[in-house]
């Protein structure tokens, strides 16, 4: 029996040696080690052996099986490597071929202004805040010291979803949310879409964009507000830009002001962009009303602050010389890619 095993081994080894490919190796495996393979049959036939012979023959068969299996595996690895080498030799890549062109779009003018403004305020240590566009009237109005009978709350101006839920009409709503959840010092700006029930024309749209700013800390004064806005105007609209303040009224600030900038197109002499005025109305601002601080859990005896808010479209139109707001929303690529 030992001799028979040795013969099988010799035969199998020479077949492995002569195998031309992986398939031939697999055939060898089936022929000798498979369920009905020659070596397997020997193991099956061991019943007829004496108890002394059985372990000797058993371990011999196992040894031969392990050796054949190892040789077959080695051979398979060899053929797999050959396959890879063949591929590497034939499938070469031509790195000088021209690549497929991907067409890059351009950043929308509104997004450009938002990005510029963010950069300027981040440079002054501000953080970017965010809030919901579907907002509680409480945050858009009540907490901002705007009483129920205020004209801004009329359905002619504001979109109502229910009596208490609206589409925010100003990014000022984010002020209340930030103050409620943040312990001063607070220095944020919040860009975002706002909604008003206006009909569409060259200067109005029911959806437009605002950027809100809020600073709360100890000893914040109107001088800080003026200095901040003067710096912002220079960085955003040009080093020569001047800011002037006119008294105004907002429910959430006291005192309140509107700020104009000297026309950055004509330098103040009067032109088409500033409609001959030399000044362009820029934003609303003021010192945060003590009632607002109190409504949002901040002690007005300890802290004070300023806030401001402006329309992004207005700046984009003045800066890029666009005279009809509708162009910004039509998304005609031929128009948009000029900027």
For ligand DAH, which stretch binds (CB under 6 A), given 39-47, 70-78, 126-134, 302-310? Answer: 302-310
Residue 276 contacts residue 247 (beta carbons within 8 Å): no
Kindly tell me the burial class for residue 76, based on how many C-beta atoms sit within 10 Å of its own C-beta (0-12, 13-18, 19 or more): middle
Cβ proximity to ligand DAH, 72 vs 229, nearer residue: 229
Q: Decide the pairing of beta strands 165-167 and 186-195.
A: unpaired
284 binding ligand DAH? (CB under 6 A): yes
37 binding ligand DAH? (CB under 6 A): no
Binding to ligand DAH, residues 162-181 (CB under 6 A): 170, 172
Helices (H), 91-221: 109-123, 137-140, 172-181
Q: What is the DSSP letter of 160?
A: B
Query: Considering the complex, what minimum distance in angstroms separates the CB of residue 141 from ligand DAH?
Result: 11
243 binding ligand DAH? (CB under 6 A): no
Query: Considering the complex, what minimum distance in angstroms separates the CB of residue 339 from ligand DAH?
Result: 25
Query: Considering the complex, what minimum distance in angstroms separates the CB of residue 267 from ligand DAH?
Result: 27
Query: Which of 68, 67, 61 has the alpha carbon at shortest distance from 26?
Result: 68
Of 110, 190, 285, 312, the residue at the interface with ligand DAH (CB under 6 A) is 285
191 binding ligand DAH? (CB under 6 A): no
Task: Tell me, letter by letter, the H, E, C secondary structure of 20-60.
Answer: CCHHHHHHHHHHHHCCCCHHHHHHHHHHHCCCCHHHHHHHH
CA distances from 162 to 95, 137, 167 (A): 62, 9, 10
Count the Cβ atoms, other than its own, within 10 Å of residue 142: 16
Of 250, 264, 279, 303, the residue at the interface with ligand DAH (CB under 6 A) is 250
Query: Considering the complex, what minimum distance in angstroms separates the CB of residue 171 from ligand DAH?
Result: 7
C-alpha 297/C-alpha 75 separation (Å) is 78
For ligand DAH, which stretch binds (CB under 6 A), given 7-15, 21-29, 87-95, 303-311? Answer: 303-311
Of 117, 166, 233, 307, the residue at the interface with ligand DAH (CB under 6 A) is 307
Cβ proximity to ligand DAH, 32 vs 308, nearer residue: 308
309 binding ligand DAH? (CB under 6 A): yes
Q: Which residue has the tokens 């099986």?
A: 65
- Contacts with ligand DAH, residue ranges (CB under 6 A): 170, 172, 212, 250, 252-253, 284-286, 307-309
């Amino acid at each position: 029996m030992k001799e028979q095993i040795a013969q099988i081994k010799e035969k199998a080894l020479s077949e492995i040696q002569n195998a031309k490919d992986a398939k031939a190796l697999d055939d060898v495996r089936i022929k000798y080690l498979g369920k009905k393979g020659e070596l397997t049959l020997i193991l099956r036939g061991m019943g007829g052996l004496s108890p002394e012979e059985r372990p000797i023959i058993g371990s011999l068969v196992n040894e031969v099986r392990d050796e054949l299996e190892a040789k077959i595996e080695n051979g398979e690895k060899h053929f797999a490597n050959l396959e890879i080498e063949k591929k590497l030799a034939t499938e070469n890549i031509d790195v000088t071929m021209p690549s497929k062109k991907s067409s890059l779009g351009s950043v929308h003018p509104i997004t450009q202004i938002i990005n510029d403004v963010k950069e300027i305020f981040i440079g002054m240590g501000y953080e970017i805040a965010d809030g919901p566009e579907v907002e509680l009237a409480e945050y858009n109005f009540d907490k901002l010291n705007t009483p129920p009978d205020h004209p801004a709350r009329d359905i002619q101006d504001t979109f109502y979803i229910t009596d208490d839920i609206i589409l925010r009409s100003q990014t000022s709503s984010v002020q209340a949310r930030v103050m409620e959840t943040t312990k001063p010092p607070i220095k944020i700006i919040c860009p975002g879409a706002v909604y008003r029930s206006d009909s569409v024309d060259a200067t109005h749209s029911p959806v437009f964009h605002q950027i809100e700013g809020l600073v709360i800390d100890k000893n914040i004064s109107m001088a800080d507000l003026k200095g901040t806005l003067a710096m912002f105007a220079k960085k955003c609209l040009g080093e020569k830009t001047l800011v002037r303040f006119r008294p105004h009224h907002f429910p959430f600030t006291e005192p309140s002001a509107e700020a104009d900038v000297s026309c950055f197109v004509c330098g103040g002499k009067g032109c088409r962009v500033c409609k001959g005025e030399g000044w362009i109305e820029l934003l609303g601002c003021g010192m945060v009303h003590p009632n607002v601080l109190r409504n949002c859990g901040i002690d007005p005896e300890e802290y004070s602050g300023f806030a401001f808010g402006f329309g992004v479209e207005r700046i984009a139109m003045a800066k890029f010389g666009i005279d009809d707001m509708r162009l910004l929303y039509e998304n005609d690529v031929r128009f948009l890619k000029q900027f």
